[in-house]
Structure 1
Amino acid sequence: MKYIATIISVALAGVFTVTGCSGGKNKASAEAEAADTVAAVTPRVQLIERLGKVRDTGKFAFGHHDDTAYGHTWRGEDGRSDVKEVTGDYPAIMNWDLGLVEWGAGKQLDGVPFELIHDEAVEQDARGGINTFSWHPRNPATKGDSWDTAGGNVVKEAVTGGSALNDTVREWIGRAADFIGSIRDAAGNRIPVVFRPWHEHTGSWFWWGGDNTDTESYRKLWHMTREVFDAKGIDNVVWAYSPDKVDTVEQYMERYPGDEYVDIMGADVYCFDGKDGLEQYAAKVKSTLSAAVSQAEARGKLAAFTETGLESITVPAWYTDVLMPLVKEFPVVYVSVWRNADNIPRHFYTPYPGHPAEESFKAFYNDSITLFAKDISEIK
């Protein structure tokens, strides 16, 4: 998986080499075979190769959740972005969430219309950026939100064939697949995206994680998700596995669904306690990213810091003095922070114009190791 483009080039060269030696194929048939080989390079493969090139630069792409959908004091204003208003550029990565797509809702759990997400994802791709998707589905047993952990081992029942919950969750996964498969560029080609379902499963705050289920059932849930996507022919998904903070590789890998199901080894670690929690945050980032990166290298995968941030950025130099030194220790392809809510004043993870962290964020942007939209557009 590591050097897919090189492998394909060798394969294409082989078509013409064999033809020339054997004389068994004419030029037209060789070209047709080559075209078939190129056609087999799916959007997923293209994005994996592109992210591999990002890794090879020794830099990392910066991401922000719901970046162009709303910001600290605004919502639904075309072209706006808190990140762009501070740095002059959009994030290289934009993350979107599919929560409530399972219900066929018109808007996701934070009130962003799915139609807008579709259009903004297409726009991000057109400017040369990359899209990632998370999913906070409702509890299928209780109909509560993702944080409703009632209903027993919901995952175990959901992955049991013939159960009502199995039918429901398969249908829900199918709706997520349909939406992701619908994201196409102006030429009608599917746009590749990163999708990280069933995230932060090492904690017990979601109905699919921690003490709320068992290892076998969690892995089956991943397998079932991939089965539904594959049955629908969804070929534009790069799959990310993203546990929350762990102390050991064993904890990180405990519920790993298998190499054939994962392309990116991710990690979600937040800084919750401001200055008092910086030391603990650093320790957890190191233990979790160390596990992610070591396993990625061992398995031929990519590694990413899939979610992080300090709410309200109460440490003004957090981006340059806390986050940057940690990320420089680990070769991750991207680092993504959470959203800037327009309806919760304290709930933001990138600075906006006038915030005390603005200058630190500008320095973070100007650092040669960070990639934003204009930078990553040059890496194809």
Structure 2
Amino acid sequence: MGKYFAFAFCLLIFNCSAQQVVPVNKNATKEAKELLQYLYRIKDKKTLYGMHNIIGGMSTSTDSIYKITGSYPAIWGGDFGFADEKHDIDNIKYRPLLVPEIEKQYARGSIIVLSYHQANPFLGEPTPFEGGIISKLTDAQWKELTTPGTALYKKWCAQMDIIAVYFKQLQAAKIPVIFRPYHEMNGGWFWWGHRKGADGFKALWNQLYNYYTIHHQLNNILWAWTPDKPLEDVADYYPNTNTVDILGCDIYPQKNKAIVYPQEWFDRMLKLANGKPLALTEHSVLPNQEILKNQPWAWMMSWGKMVFDQNSREKIRDFSDFKQVIMLNKLPIKIREHKKK
């Protein structure tokens, strides 16, 4: 019999109330419910620290944080890839290695976050980043994509069917996943971006949500909507409070601007979240304690090597010791044994 491990979070952690919350998917697994419950308990108080890893390196970035700080990040982040050997770090040939690595990280105690740079359905995969992920659909192609039964819609379904296989393996292993598809949709670089209105990005998001929760019956997913820096029009891309569990945003330094994390951005997202957990889903420059005090993200995720390029080893070590920050060794977990029938 195989042995699996799952989170069982203490009900009274951080002296929080016993408020009961449920994922937007009413059929969510027990493990997904427990994870979301935990995020609600720490929001506004603590920040889980996470690290994104490229599929061609699996846990290289996570391991680097351990070598610097002596602690693993509380969150392991990854991606499904999109490329071939010409861009090997995102090569789809590594996908079969993804679930075993996630099982290893989850057994260690890590929370799992998965991103997905989906190839333009019109072009298919493998695809380059420039000209593939960063590309455009015409208005006519977009309408075809979001219209069930069309040729382009069927191509999109075939792509999502491939990824669904991995989620089903994780669901069988009782592993919950925070999934952040179609990130930075308020920017104009990715093929899914910069489309406002009910027939724009919102239609694609809700199409994926329904396809995965209804057609594929994937119930181990917590759905994270994560735009780029939240400018004034960010709410125009918010799909539906009934299909989003967690809100977040990606924030990187702006050219010729000293402030990396404007307070107005956090306040805008906090208002939009309306009580849902809020995350800093991509970043490079680590915030200081004062910023975290005023902007208490429930979790944050450094984007691979960028955090090492833009922060000294000393700064990374100091950050891991902040009282607000939860590294893996500070994560309150009671490990339970699950036996596979």
Identity across matched positions, percent: 25
Which one of 51, 54, 73 corresponds to residue 39 of structure 2?
A: 51
Q: Which structure features the higher share of strand residues? A: 2
The equivalent of 2:269 in structure 1 is 292
Which one of 308, 314, 337 corresponds to residue 350 of structure 1?
A: 308
Give yes or no for the alignment of 1:307 onto 2:291: no
Aligned 1:192-231 pairs, distance under 5 A? 192-210=176-194, 215-230=198-213, 231=215
Q: Distance in 2 between matches of 1:245 and 1:362?
A: 26
Q: Which runs of 5+ in 1 are unaligned?
A: 9-38, 311-318, 341-347
Q: Distance in 2 between matches of 1:53 and 1:88?
A: 26
Q: Is the CA contact (8 Å cut-off) linking 2:54 and 2:90 kept in structure 1?
A: no
Matched residue of 2:224: which SS? strand
Q: Is the CA contact (8 Å cut-off) linking 1:99 and 1:138 kept in structure 2?
A: no
- Relative to structure 1, the CA distance from residue 208 to residue 253 in structure 2 (aligned partners, 3 Å threshold; closer, same or farther) is same
The equivalent of 2:5 in structure 1 is none
Q: Distance in 1 between matches of 2:62 and 2:203?
A: 41
The equivalent of 1:84 in structure 2 is 66
Q: Distance in 1 between matches of 2:28 and 2:51?
A: 31
The equivalent of 1:133 in structure 2 is 114
Give the TM-score of the pair, scaled to structure 1: 0.71
The equivalent of 2:81 in structure 1 is 99
Q: Distance in 1 between matches of 2:269 and 2:244?
A: 12
Shift of 1:326: 2.5
Shift of 1:119: 1.8
Give the TM-score of the pair, scaled to structure 2: 0.79
- Relative to structure 1, the CA distance from residue 137 to residue 178 in structure 2 (aligned partners, 3 Å threshold; closer, same or farther) is same
The equivalent of 2:261 in structure 1 is 282
Matched residue of 1:349: which SS? helix
- 1:193 partner amino acid: V
Larger RCO (CA within 8 A; separation ≥ 6): 2
Q: Which runs of 5+ in 2 are unaligned?
A: 1-15, 22-26, 125-130, 336-341
Shift of 1:151: 4.4
- Relative to structure 1, the CA distance from residue 232 to residue 327 in structure 2 (aligned partners, 3 Å threshold; closer, same or farther) is same
Give yes or no for the alignment of 1:261 onto 2:226: no
Aligned 1:354-369 pairs, distance under 5 A? 357-369=312-324
Q: Is the CA contact (8 Å cut-off) linking 1:68 and 1:80 kept in structure 2?
A: no
Q: Residues 206-264 of structure 1: CA distance to partner in whole angstroms, max 9, x if unpaired? A: 001015x755231111111011111211111000011111332xx22112111110000
Shift of 1:324: 4.0
Aligned-residue Cα RMSD (Å) equals 3.1
Q: Distance in 2 between matches of 1:163 and 1:142?
A: 16
- Relative to structure 1, the CA distance from residue 120 to residue 41 in structure 2 (aligned partners, 3 Å threshold; closer, same or farther) is closer
Which 4+ residue blocks in structure 1 deviate beyond 4 angstroms?
3-8, 150-153
- Relative to structure 1, the CA distance from residue 245 to residue 201 in structure 2 (aligned partners, 3 Å threshold; closer, same or farther) is same
Q: Is the CA contact (8 Å cut-off) linking 1:174 and 1:228 kept in structure 2?
A: no
Q: Distance in 1 between matches of 2:288 and 2:113?
A: 21
